[in-house]
Every structure is written in C-alpha cells, then in structure tokens.
Amino acid sequence: MKAQLNRRDFIGKTSVAGAGLALGLPSVLRGAQTAAKPAQLGGPKARATGFPSWPVYDQTEEQALLETLHSGQWFRGSGKAVARFEDEYKKLTGAKHCIATSCGTSALTTTLGGLDIGPGDEVIIPPYTFVATYNVVVLNYALPIFVDTDVETFQIDANKIEAAITKETKAILPVHIGGSPADMDKILEVAKTHKLPVIEDACQAHLGEWRGRKLGTLGLAGCFSFQASKNLNSGEGGAVLTDDSDFAEICYNFHNQGRMRKTVAFPYSGSRGSNLRLTEFQGNLLLAQMTRVIEQTNRRTENANYLTRLLEEIPGITPAKLYPGTTRSAYHLYMFRYDKARFAGLDRGKFLQALSREGVPCSGGYGVMNTEPYVSGLAKNARFLKVYGEKRMQQWLEQNRNCPQNEKLCAEAVWFTQSMLLGPREDMDQIADAIRKIQKHAGDLAKA
C-alpha cells in the first residue's frame, strides 16, 4: 500500500470513530449490527472494505533504492547503507551491537554458530513458533527440546523450562511470539542458575518491551526478521543484537565467511562461517521503512488495546494475556482463543470461515509442531541416529508428546495480522461487530 493516510487524517478518523463508536456502543446500535444475517448465510458483510494493505511505502523507499542502484555499491563491503542501518537499529533498541543478516533464520543461525552449538547438544525451544526456530537447531545436528506453551499468553511456559534442562543443554531459545514478550524474568533467572545463554527469537517482536527494555536486548543476543510480513520489512532481512562485544565480533565473523572486520588484507578469524550478509539495497530500504516504524507501532498498540477491551466483553473470546513485566507488545499478530461452547458448538474452522466471509481475514495459526510428521521424522534421520542413538531418539519422540497445553492452544487459537491494526479505531469496532454477529447466529451457522 502506498502511504496515503497522513498522521492528521489518522488522528481525525480515529477521534471521530472514538466519539461515535466508543467502547460503550449503545446496545440499540449493537443490536442492529448483530441482527443482520451473517454474510455466510447471505447477509451483508460486517466490513465491506479491505483492511490496510502491507507493505507501506512512498517516495522515501523509491529514492533509497535508486540511490543504492546508482551508487553501484550493492554489497555491504563496498557501501555504507547496511552499516548505517546497524547504527540506527542500535539507537532504536538501545543495543550495543547490531549485525545485519540476510534473514531472521540466518540471524538465529549466526548466534547458534557463534555459540558453536552442534551434534550432541540440546537447545530448549517452544513448540508454538514458526518452523525456523526448530530448523536452526536441527541444521546444527543439535536436539530441539520442546517446553510446553502457557495457554493464557501463547508463550513458552517459563515455569517448565528448568525441568527440561540436562547436562547437554547448551542454550535457551525463547520466542516472543506474536511480538509479545515471553516471561523474561523467569527465563533469565533459570538461565543464570544453570549458566546457560539465552538467545531471544525476537523475529516477530520489533520494538516490543519488557520492563522498558526492548525485546532482543535482554539475553546474550536477540534475533530479528525483516521478512515481508514483519513489522519492519525489507522483503528478506534480519539482525542480531547483543551487548556482548566479544560475541558481537564472533557473530560478525560467522555471518561473513569467518572473516573479521577488515584490518588486514585477508582477515580470517579461524572460526566457522558462511555468507549471511544483508545487501545494501535492503539496508537502505530498512532505513526508509524505519522513518515510520514508531508511528506504526504506536498505532498498533492503540488499536490492539482497544480491540482487547471489546473482545473481552464477548463470552468465549479470550485475547492472549500479557505478562505483568510487559511494557509493550509489538503486536505482529493479534491472537485470541475461541471457545466453541459459547458459540453453540460452532467449530473453529466454521468460525474462521464465517469471520472471513464478514470481511475480517483471520487464521487458526500454527499446527502442533511437536507432533507434526516433519518433526517426528527426525527420529529416523540417519545422522541423528548416529549421534544420539535409537533409544534417545525414541525417548525424544515421547518427550515431544508431552505438550498438552500447546495442543489445546493450537485447537483454539485465532490470529489477525499486524496490518489489520494500522487503520482507524472504527476497524476494531467492525471486527468485534462481526464476531458478535457470528455468535448471535452461531446455531444457524453450525447447521449450515
């Protein structure tokens, strides 16, 4: 979407909506909204127009890309844009060091490579995450150990981490899923007790905060993604943040074929490495996208908080809770649980379909990763069998089945994407109207 709505327009629209369609919408008006038939049954849509599209860009991005094009300096070794982006991202997050990478997966790969995690090692991860969190561990022939989900917050259940630690554990890799913080107090406490590094998967959590500190700056390192769907976007891209100067240099070397910052002609560090560098085009694009990231983040926060207040009033809809240490969620995803018992038994699949038909795009989110065939298949992988043995791999399969809360969550979750939170407040009212309408007609929808 080209940026069309300026700040003044936005404030104008939100305040009008705020005055006319505030939380205490008169019940007579609410009644009119819910009385209409659901779109699924031939009625009018609760929302006839689309939500804000993504990405947002204008001449700022055009100029940035052309500037790099005409400079002829397209890779970080010759240009300045990636280094400038790293400086700006450090300023934005308060981190001491930033290493831009080609994507979020490569940011995670860089940190695990930097820790020299390999065959025989175990890394603790949540099962409620994007597959990349799992893949980076497996790629190093280390064993991912799933710790069950806290169904209330959708995050890793930090109280269950300690029981999963063994003498082979080499790192804790929590994910700030949906951009909301995992329980970092508890995670850092357990990590300290067991002298384990924490690598935060903050790939969805740009500008999220825990006790006033930016997510991705609390553990040894934090990893970010700038893939197309993310709140900060360069198509593909990523970054590692760390306050540890030695680890920063190790990560820099790893992402640059094991080569150090240029002080001599061929500065090989002697450590492992790969080419995981960001291009100058992406660096400059990110600098342009950063000119609006704070305003967009504020807008998401405002809309998400309002939507939560609306949805909390609907029986059977439970928005994901935030831990008390949360000072900001990045709201990469707006997530809630759906209880079909309060919707006349209408199953989640049909609820999602009906909501989409109302003009509110939604999804059921992640599957049960810990028991998916692509994960269980690892127990048959010849390399893993060689490193861990048949008995350990069978035991691992058993362990993986021990995430009952994650299973429950995967059956109940509903997601909205971040760009749906970028419009006026009225959009949130229409989302809530659509859900109330479905609830009122749930019996008929269940029969249809």
Ligand X SMILES: Cc1ncc(COP(=O)(O)O)c(C=O)c1O
Q: What is the contact surface with ligand X in residues (CB under 6 A)?
A: 103-105, 129-130, 132-133, 175, 201, 203-204, 225, 227, 238
For 241, phi and psi rounded to 5 degrees?
Answer: -110, 140
What is the distance of C-alpha 362 from the center of its chain?
A: 16
Report the Cα–Cα distance between both ends of the chain, in Å, rounded.
36
> Shortest Cβ distance from residue 389 to ligand X (Å)?
30
| Alpha-carbon distances of 171 from 145, 156, 249, rounded to whole Å | 10, 15, 19
Q: Contact 108/129 with Cβ under 8 angstroms?
A: no
The residue among 282 and 439 lying less far from ligand X, judged by its C-beta, is 282
Angle between the 131-139 and 104-114 helix axes, to the nearest 10 degrees? 40
CA distance 80 to 60: 17
Give the DSSP per-residue string, 259-326: BPSSSSSS-B-SS---B-PPBHHHHHHHHHHTTTHHHHHHHHHHHHHHHHHHHHTSTTEEEPP--TTE
The residue among 278 and 428 lying less far from ligand X, judged by its C-beta, is 278
> Shortest Cβ distance from residue 410 to ligand X (Å)?
15
The residue among 38 and 238 lying less far from ligand X, judged by its C-beta, is 238
Q: Contact 194/170 with Cβ under 8 angstroms?
A: no
| Alpha-carbon distances of 417 from 94, 189, 196, 362, 436, rounded to whole Å | 27, 32, 33, 8, 20
The residue among 206 and 437 lying less far from ligand X, judged by its C-beta, is 206
Looking only at the bridges linking them, the beta strands covering 169-172 and 122-125 are parallel
The residue among 297 and 418 lying less far from ligand X, judged by its C-beta, is 418
- Written as six digits, the tokens of 298 are 């504020």
| Alpha-carbon distances of 269 from 54, 229, 243, 250, 261, rounded to whole Å | 41, 35, 21, 9, 9
CB-based closest residue to ligand X: 104
> Shortest Cβ distance from residue 204 to ligand X (Å)?
5
> Shortest Cβ distance from residue 82 to ligand X (Å)?
16
The residue among 227 and 289 lying less far from ligand X, judged by its C-beta, is 227
What is the distance of C-alpha 433 from the center of its chain?
A: 27
> Shortest Cβ distance from residue 177 to ligand X (Å)?
6
> Shortest Cβ distance from residue 109 to ligand X (Å)?
9
> Shortest Cβ distance from residue 67 to ligand X (Å)?
24
CA distance 145 to 158: 13
The residue among 103 and 198 lying less far from ligand X, judged by its C-beta, is 103
Q: What is the 3-state secondary structure (H, E, C) of 144-179?
A: EEECCECCCCCCECHHHHHHHCCCCEEEECCECHHH
> Shortest Cβ distance from residue 111 to ligand X (Å)?
12
The residue among 135 and 257 lying less far from ligand X, judged by its C-beta, is 135
The residue among 21 and 103 lying less far from ligand X, judged by its C-beta, is 103
> Shortest Cβ distance from residue 238 to ligand X (Å)?
5
